[in-house]
Structure 1
Amino acid sequence: MAHTRCLSLPLALLLAVGALCVGARTVYPSGGCDPQKMTVYKVLVETAWDRDVFPKQYPEWRPPAQWSKVVGRSHDSTFSLFTLGEDASEGLKKFAESGDTNLLDAHSQGSGGVMDEFNAPPIPQGVGETSADFFVDGNHSKVSLISRVVPSPDWFIGVDSFDLCVEGKWVESVVLELDPLDAGTDNGFTFTSPNWPTIPKKPVSRITAQTPDHPANSFYYPDRTEHPPIATIRIFKIKEYELARVYNPSLARSPDRRYRTGSIPTTPELEETRDPEIRTRTVLRHSRRGGRPCPNLQETQWCGSSRDCDHRYFNW
């Protein structure tokens, strides 16, 4: 079983969270955070897939042990990247089997309950780390993320719908220790098993030292009661932003809602830390005799999410 440790939380809540399993949907006490605030978090993924810790069939070449890029979303309760005990979506199936994110990318910023989409770079070996920043607000306080075990039939690590708002306050930091998960879409037992589709699909499940208990399984260690964590997720708060003024849709030139710190699909507008990037052009000769009018003379460019913003853009 994976263990969860939360830092800077009330003791009663800490004890409650400690009993939860990473990968299962996390539920916190009622009382959401202010929807007129936006918070920036950093997630650090530290992997520990080491030959000394997981020696059985440890992949050394074609390809060697490594991790795919991290795919993450901040979202509300209507969105789910995966859920332990439920069948994988077609998007998760393709990602877990091959790393293909085309279907997952359909759930992008501003659609289906998603506030921010973020990625972290792949880790090219079994042990390493990668990180990304992301936004949350009071209406989208949950975070989910996944990374594929490479090579593997359909195995991955992930966090499902972890709520960063606790009793009306944003969590300062949290540490999550992860076990590998099985997407339930391929019957392969070993890291390099050939494609063997599971028909029908099985629910997403946790891979432990004891289950699946087939001797050929790459993660089966009958002499262990549980595995050491194969990865650790650290999430910590960077900064909170206050509402500057209410967005007025009648002033918009396009359906995109404009944040002074980046284009975010919610209604508040935040105080800017510097001017946006603006490109202008000048009319040298105006149209005559019914000629076409000149196009827009000014263009403003906004970053779409934390992953697209130059880090110098924010004062954090």
Structure 2
Amino acid sequence: MGAPHPVFPRGAALWAFLLASLGGVAGQPLGAEPMCTAQPLARYSITFTGKWSQASFPKQYPLFRPPAQWSSLLGAAHSSDYSLWRKDQYVSNGLREFAERGEAWALMREMEAAGERLQSVHGVFSAPAVPSGTGQTSSELEAHSRHSLVSFVVRIVPSPDWFVGVDSLDLCDGGSWREQDTVTEITASSPSHPANSFYYPRLKALPPIAKVTLVRLRQSPRAFVPPALDLGVGGNEIVDSLPDPETPLDCEVSLWSSWGLCAGPCGRPGAKSRTRYVRVRPANHGAPCPPLEEEAPCDPDNCV
């Protein structure tokens, strides 16, 4: 179902980063999705669980100023006429503000305006921020048979402009509403550059960085009241009882320096040396550092 993807903007565009693709199936083009014939309204709980730990992601893991954490979750139940974000496409100014600076109000206004003017958004929902890399936050949402798609974003903090999210996950399956689904696939593919904090060339896929669970709630006689839009921090707890998988981090060293002068007595073989330094120290049983100094025989310089 769906696809939470971590993505980041370059220039004016947000490009799919595929660091945290929280989805078993990527969001599909929605121009001709099947008609939902289920009963008009359905309520769901949505639970976001962060799994961004130092054991799973040791490279450049942020410990302070600020430490690893997640922003508020912002989302909407909508029709195929609306797109919160889409892989490889330009994004709105509101989403750009949210991804780059964590400012949520412009994005909230855009979603609400889409509901008022275009009738493409049925409702907006949010969940509090998670103040650490591992924790949980939740909210409730209401979907309509004409607005059965759900999209959301959660910003990775700290980061230049990365986020995870779901794009147009359909909660309706023909004539019925889905009862429960868990979205939890994470892949690593791009950008494949050593400077990337989530670049682990030895791994075919990264450990899960987050997961999302949607559970349909039983209808009650009282009317549905959307949850208050709380963009602050609170109501979170660490919920995973299983230990985080350890991701091996290999040692990284610099290039060799130039060879030094040849040292030794005239008329006899001398020795010269060069050095390099450690860029990234190994962790979690990653490959150890190679030698940092090397010597080679030479003929002494300036002999007369």
TM-score interval for Structure 1 and Structure 2 normalised by the shorter chain: 0.5 to 0.7
**Counterpart position of 1:62:** 65
Pairing 1:129–2:126 present? no
Q: Quick one: which amino acid aligns to residue 148 of structure 1? A: R
Change (3 A) 1:221 1:28: farther
Identify which of 134, 153, 173 aligns with 1:146: 153
User: Which of 21, 42, 48 is 2:51 aligned to?
Assistant: 48
Amino acid at match of 1:108: E
Q: Which amino acid aligns with 1:239?
A: R
Q: Does 1:167 align with 2:171?
A: no
Give the Cα–Cα distance (whole angstroms) in 2 for the partners of residues 237 and 219 of structure 1.
Answer: 34
Q: Under a length normalisation based on structure 1, what TM-score does the superposition of the two structures give?
A: 0.60
Matching of residue 261 in structure 1 with residue 223 in structure 2 = yes
Alignment partner, residue 228 of structure 1: 207
Q: Deviations over 1:151-210 (max 9, x none)?
A: 00010000011000002110000111154xxxxxxxxxxxxxxxxxxxxxxxxxxxx534
Q: Is the CA contact 1:50–1:127 (under 8 Å) kept in the aligned structure 2?
A: yes
The question of whether the paired residues in 2 share the 8 Å contact of 1:209 and 1:225 is answered with yes
Indicate conservation of the 8 Å contact 2:24/2:184, yes or no: no
Structure 2 contact 37–176 (Cα < 8 Å) conserved: yes
Alpha-carbon separation, structure 2, partners of 1:108 and 1:178 = 30
Q: CA deviation at 1:19?
A: 6.5
Q: Which runs of 5+ in 2 are unaligned?
A: 5-22, 230-304
Partner residue of 1:75 out of 71, 74, 78: 78
Identity in percent: 39
Q: What is residue 97 of structure 1 aligned with on the other side?
A: 100
Question: Which contiguous aligned blocks of 4+ residues in structure 1 show a shift greater than 3 angstroms?
Answer: 23-29
TM superposition score normalised by structure 2: 0.62
Assess, with a 3 A threshold, how the Cα gap between structure 1 residues 235 and 102 changes in structure 2: closer, same or farther.
same
**Separation in structure 1 between the aligned mates of residue 150 and residue 33 of structure 2, nearest angstrom:** 17
| CA shift for structure 1 position 20 | 2.1
Give the equivalent residue in structure 1 for 2:36: 32
Measure, in 2, the Cα distance between the counterparts of 1:19 and 1:58.
26
Aligned equivalents of 1:80 and 1:161: distance in 2? 7
Partner of 1:193: none
Q: 1:128 to 1:26 in 2, by over 3 A?
A: farther
Q: Give the Cα–Cα distance (whole angstroms) in 1 for the partners of residues 28 and 53 of structure 2.
A: 25
* Runs (5+) with no aligned partner, structure 1: 5-17, 180-207, 243-259, 263-302, 309-316
- SS of 1:103's equivalent in the other structure is helix
Amino acid at match of 1:215: P
Answer yes or no: is the 8 Å Cα contact 2:24–2:185 preserved in 1. Answer: no
Letter in 2 for 1:20: V
Distance 1:118 1:100, change over 3 A: same
Q: Secondary structure, in 3 states, of the residue corresponding to 1:95? A: helix
Matches within 5 A, 1:2-41: 20-21=25-26, 30-34=34-38, 37-41=40-44
* 3-state SS in 2 of match to 1:69: strand
* Residue 195 (structure 2) aligns with: 216
Q: Is the 8 A contact 1:29 1:167 kept in 2?
A: no
Q: 1:3, 1:120 → 2: CA distance? A: 18
Verify the 8 A CA contact 2:31 2:80 in the aligned structure 1.
no
Helix, strand or coil for the counterpart of 1:222?
A: coil
In 1, Cα distance between the equivalents of 2:32 and 2:171?
9
Residue 59 (structure 1) shift: 0.1
Equivalenced residue count is 206
Q: Deviations over 1:210-263 (max 9, x none)?
A: 421221111111111111121101001002479xxxxxxxxxxxxxxxxx715x
Take 2:67 and 2:159, find their aligned partners in 1: how far apart are those partners?
Answer: 11
- Superposed, 1:106-121 pairs within 5 Å as 106=109, 107-108=111-112, 110-111=115-116, 112=118, 113-121=120-128
* Aligned-pair Cα RMSD in Å: 2.6
Asked whether the equivalents of residues 141 and 164 of structure 1 are also in contact (C-alpha less than 8 Å), the reply is yes
Q: How far apart, CA to CA, are the structure 2 residues paired with 1:169 and 1:94? A: 37
Query: What letter corresponds to residue 261 of structure 1 in structure 2?
Result: A
